[in-house]
Amino acid sequence: MASKHWEIDPAHSEIQFKIRHLLISNISGAFNVFSGTMVTPVHDDFKDAYFTLKIDVYSIDTNNEDRDEHLKSDDFFNADAYPEITFLSTQFTHLDGDKYKLTGDLTIKGTTKQVTFDVLFGGQAKDGFGINRAGFEINGVIDRNDFDIHPAEAAEASGIILGEEIKLHANIQYTNKPE
């Protein structure tokens, strides 16, 4: 079966997260280095698309260098042992209009869990260079304990310091160069 191959345009994409701090406010952050692909059947919709994503853990940015270094440490992401977060889709389901569900295997710190995200298809256009572009807004929530994203010695108290849920938000633009 013929297919189209798309790549994430990092200059027009972003991956962000939020987590509760001390149960009174949110701390926001982003991963600034990532790549990924989308493979679609050759037709005008994205039904049955297949997605991959690789995130460089070292690119974490919470606008606080000390906190970023702590998040890269063994206490949280252990970036030296697990430098990459990956996502491989297993299902992309059209719901209604521009709404989809994206299900797949998310791997963080060597642990893989199935997750589902809400997706809003933003549209498709050809830019001034003749490159096809497609945009997606992706939202979801994961439990940080599912991926052991907390200091081992502070597991009991960390729920008070940091919330259990990590809210994920991504705006992703894919490019597909014409044959």
Domain residue limits, the chain: 3-176
Instruction: Classify domain 3-176 at the CATH topology level.
Output: Lipocalin (2.40.128)
Q: Report the C-alpha gap between 111 and 149 in whole angstroms.
A: 11
Q: Report the C-alpha gap between 136 and 148 in whole angstroms.
A: 29
Q: Tens of pLDDT along the chain (179 residues)? A: 578 899 999 999 999 999 887 777 888 999 999 999 999 887 667 888 999 999 999 999 999 999 999 999 998 999 999 999 999 999 999 999 999 999 999 999 999 999 999 999 999 999 888 889 999 999 999 998 899 887 765 544 555 677 788 999 999 999 986 65
Give the Cβ contact number of residue 170 at 10 Å.
23
Q: Can you tell me which residue has the tokens 């994409």?
A: 13
3-state DSSP assignment of residue 13: coil
Q: Parallel, antiparallel, or unpaired for β 84-96 and 60-61?
A: unpaired
Q: Residue 153 is encoded by which pair of tokens?
A: 């010695």
